[in-house]
Chains A and B, each alone.
Chain A
Amino acid sequence: MSLSVQNVYTIAKREMGGYFSSPVAYVFIVIFLLLAGFFTFKVSGFFAANEASLNSFFVWHCWLYLFLVPAVGMRLWSEERRLGTIELLLTMPVTGWQAILGKFLASWIFLGLALALTFPMIVTVNYLGNPDNGVILCSYVGSFLMAGAYLAVSCLTSAITRSQVVSFILSLVVCLFLVLVGWPPLNEMLSQWLSPAMVSAVSSISVMTHFAQFQRGIIDSSDIIFFLGLIFFCLFTTNVVIRSHRAG
């Protein structure tokens, strides 16, 4: 392993250990699973729909993540700044990018783990009927990418402020914006004033629009590029923000 990969791995490992050394990780996973189950079975009416698909499960993800992902990401950098450990970390022989990537990847893998623990859904729907497992897999990939995009936004907002609460709220607002611009009711409202091309341009910056493609079982490179691009942009900006803090 090259030195830089090794550094990213070391930082990610520490971050991951941080989640599991406190009850935060377990509480988060339990709440995520409970809410996902509640919305799928109670609100969407999974059984009443009588469909062998997980649409009623995935359709809630952009809303669920809105609260849960900022809760995971809010401490990434604000905690480092509050404790002063950022000074320790960045005077080690690591680059800013290695630190950012290590922390981001640890949280993303953690979210992936929470998402993977929803596997009983797949078992249930396969037991009850014959779903298209390709579509389900595709939706999982999309959901994971969307979680990464939300997380990158939280990573950026947590670099901006020392306060975790402020970081949480900022990230929630930004993510809400990224959802709402593609939310069908809002798009209908916009179409009263804007041309259809404008409306689709606006909704194309929404995570909802791009995630919808995955839910249909379509893996389009433009959707993948959208999510990865958003992640890259936010992490890049995080690096700029951290550097400007240090410059004073």
Chain B
Amino acid sequence: MIKIENLVKFFGPKKAVDNISFTVSKGEVLGFLGPNGAGKSTTMRMITGFIPPDSGNIQVGEFDMLNDPIRAKQLLGYLPENAPLYADMSVYGFLSFAAELRGLRGAARKKAVQEAIETCFLEPVAHQTVDTLSKGYKHRACFAQSIIHDPDYLILDEPTDGLDPNQKHEVRSLIRNMGRRKAIIFSTHILEEVLEVCTRAIIIDRGHIVANGSPNELKAMHPNFGSVRLNVYGVAEGDVRGKLNTLSQVERVEVIKSNSEHVKVRVYPKDKKDENFPTLVADLVTKSGWKFDELSMDKGRLDEVFRGITLPDTVKKSSKEGPIVTVNV
């Protein structure tokens, strides 16, 4: 388990990370989301022991990163942002070097290097010098380094950055598979990645955690989550409204568009999590004999949730409606 408590980091007068706490257990893949400069990389660098926090605790397995850094680091694998590599080494040489620093020797080292090369699809370039590689290969070479000692804990800073769609897919499935046995923290800008890979996601903004939950829980934070969109023909707006309001489960009905031909409405349920709600609305529509061409439940959109809670100050002030989502953490 990786346990982080009350982590604080200042850069000069700026508080880059402000009192962040969370835990990640084995079998979990934690997505770390946030706009640029939110403090994602700084937090990861503190967890991996690269920069010391100004205050707070970091526990990796049973070891404390601040008091026992060597043993804590032994349990970790780390892919830094931008995947740095020694430009003058071959991929094989670089991975051997990493394996040796991880305490692997002789046959064990060879085996580990070979396995990492296979896992990360590096065979074609294994004996090439790093600075002749394409960005995708460089990224994977650095990724290979992080898993070479089969660590229990993996910290990946934007592991799919700069990869083409196929490579992204490969890396994602790799992370998902490894996540069954390991505790993984990875940061990303790509929201689909979170839905596809993560068991849990944390959104941080300006050094604070603003949301923490499973991808579905985060989506449920969307104000339209659970509501039903309905488009009916040949009925007056008032009738639609009136009929729908007879349902006890309906909280309110919002008209999106209305003219002589059709009426488009959004129906909000009292209980957002009520999965039967669309069926109830559908029953009502068929009983009333209305013609319709749309009846769908809104499942919430992660990108809008993300935008809502990480909106920059300037936008928040100028927008009359305020943030799309309000959260209490």
Tell me which residues across on chain A come within 8 A of B98, comparing CB atoms.
Answer: 92
Tell me which residues across on chain A come within 8 A of B97, comparing CB atoms.
Answer: 10, 14
**A84–B80 CB distance below 8 A:** yes
**A14–B103 CB distance below 8 A:** no
A226 and B178 CA atoms in complex are apart in Å by 54
**A85–B86 CB distance below 8 A:** yes
| B50 contacts partner chain A, Cβ-Cβ < 8 Å | yes
> Given that A87-B45, A92-B73, A93-B71 are contacting pairs, would A21 and B88 also be in contact in the complex, using a CB cutoff of 8 Å?
yes
A10 and B94 CA atoms in complex are apart in Å by 11
| A133 contacts partner chain B, Cβ-Cβ < 8 Å | no
Nearest B residue (CB) for A24: B88
**A93–B89 CB distance below 8 A:** no
**B101–A84 CB distance below 8 A:** no
A87 and B84 CA atoms in complex are apart in Å by 8
Looking at A85, A91, A248, the one whose CB has the most chain B CB atoms below 10 A away is A91
A130 and B162 CA atoms in complex are apart in Å by 67
Chain B interface size band reads: 20 to 34
| B190 contacts partner chain A, Cβ-Cβ < 8 Å | no
> Given that A3-B103, A246-B52, A247-B52 are contacting pairs, would A91 and B84 also be in contact in the complex, using a CB cutoff of 8 Å?
no
| A95 contacts partner chain B, Cβ-Cβ < 8 Å | yes
Tell me which residues across on chain A come within 8 A of B71, comparing CB atoms.
Answer: 93
A6 and B80 CA atoms in complex are apart in Å by 24
| A7 contacts partner chain B, Cβ-Cβ < 8 Å | yes
Digitize A83-109: 1 where CB-to-B-CB distance is under 8 Å, 0 elsewhere: 111011011111100000000000000
A87 and B74 CA atoms in complex are apart in Å by 15
The B-contacting residues of A in range 9-27, CB under 8 angstroms, are: 10-11, 14, 17-18, 21-22
**A92–B102 CB distance below 8 A:** yes
The A-contacting residues of B in range 68-116, CB under 8 angstroms, are: 70-71, 73-74, 76, 78, 80-82, 84-89, 93, 97-98, 100-103
Nearest B residue (CB) for A14: B97
Select B78's contact among A22, A91, A94, beta carbons within 8 Å: A91
| B49 contacts partner chain A, Cβ-Cβ < 8 Å | yes
**B85–A83 CB distance below 8 A:** yes
| B51 contacts partner chain A, Cβ-Cβ < 8 Å | yes
Tell me which residues across on chain A come within 8 A of B87, comparing CB atoms.
Answer: 83
**B9–A248 CB distance below 8 A:** yes
> Given that A18-B89, A93-B74 are contacting pairs, would A84 and B51 also be in contact in the complex, using a CB cutoff of 8 Å?
no
**A91–B48 CB distance below 8 A:** yes
The B-contacting residues of A in range 37-89, CB under 8 angstroms, are: 83-85, 87-88
Tell me which residues across on chain A come within 8 A of B49, comparing CB atoms.
Answer: 90-91
> Given that A92-B102, A93-B71, A248-B51 are contacting pairs, would A17 and B85 also be in contact in the complex, using a CB cutoff of 8 Å?
no
| B59 contacts partner chain A, Cβ-Cβ < 8 Å | no
Nearest B residue (CB) for A19: B88
> Given that A95-B70, A248-B9 are contacting pairs, would A87 and B50 also be in contact in the complex, using a CB cutoff of 8 Å?
yes
> Given that A10-B101, A84-B84 are contacting pairs, would A93 and B70 also be in contact in the complex, using a CB cutoff of 8 Å?
yes
> Given that A93-B74, A248-B11 are contacting pairs, would A10 and B93 also be in contact in the complex, using a CB cutoff of 8 Å?
no
**B51–A93 CB distance below 8 A:** no
A10 and B100 CA atoms in complex are apart in Å by 7
Nearest A residue (CB) for B47: A91
| B145 contacts partner chain A, Cβ-Cβ < 8 Å | yes
Digitize A197-217: 1 where CB-to-B-CB distance is under 8 Å, 0 elsewhere: 000000000000000000000
> Given that A87-B50, A87-B80, A87-B84 are contacting pairs, would A14 and B89 also be in contact in the complex, using a CB cutoff of 8 Å?
yes
A93 and B101 CA atoms in complex are apart in Å by 7
Nearest B residue (CB) for A4: B70
> Given that A17-B89, A91-B73, A92-B73 are contacting pairs, would A246 and B84 also be in contact in the complex, using a CB cutoff of 8 Å?
no
A17-B93, A83-B87, A91-B78 known; 5 other A-B pairs, CB under 8 Å? A6-B103, A85-B85, A93-B73, A246-B52, A248-B11
Q: List 27 A–B pairs whose Cβ atoms lie within 8 Å, in order of A's numbering.
A: A3-B103, A6-B103, A10-B100, A11-B101, A14-B86, A14-B97, A17-B93, A18-B86, A21-B88, A21-B129, A84-B84, A85-B85, A85-B86, A87-B45, A88-B80, A90-B49, A90-B50, A91-B48, A91-B49, A91-B80, A93-B103, A94-B70, A95-B70, A246-B51, A247-B52, A248-B11, A248-B51
Using a CB–CB cutoff of 8 Å, the interface residues on chain A facing chain B are 3, 6-7, 10-11, 14, 17-18, 21-22, 83-85, 87-88, 90-95, 246-248
**A-B interface, 5 closest residue pairs, ranked by CB to CB distance from nearest:** A84-B84, A93-B73, A91-B48, A10-B100, A92-B101
Using a CB–CB cutoff of 8 Å, the interface residues on chain B facing chain A are 9-11, 45, 48-52, 70-71, 73-74, 76, 78, 80-82, 84-89, 93, 97-98, 100-103, 129, 142, 145
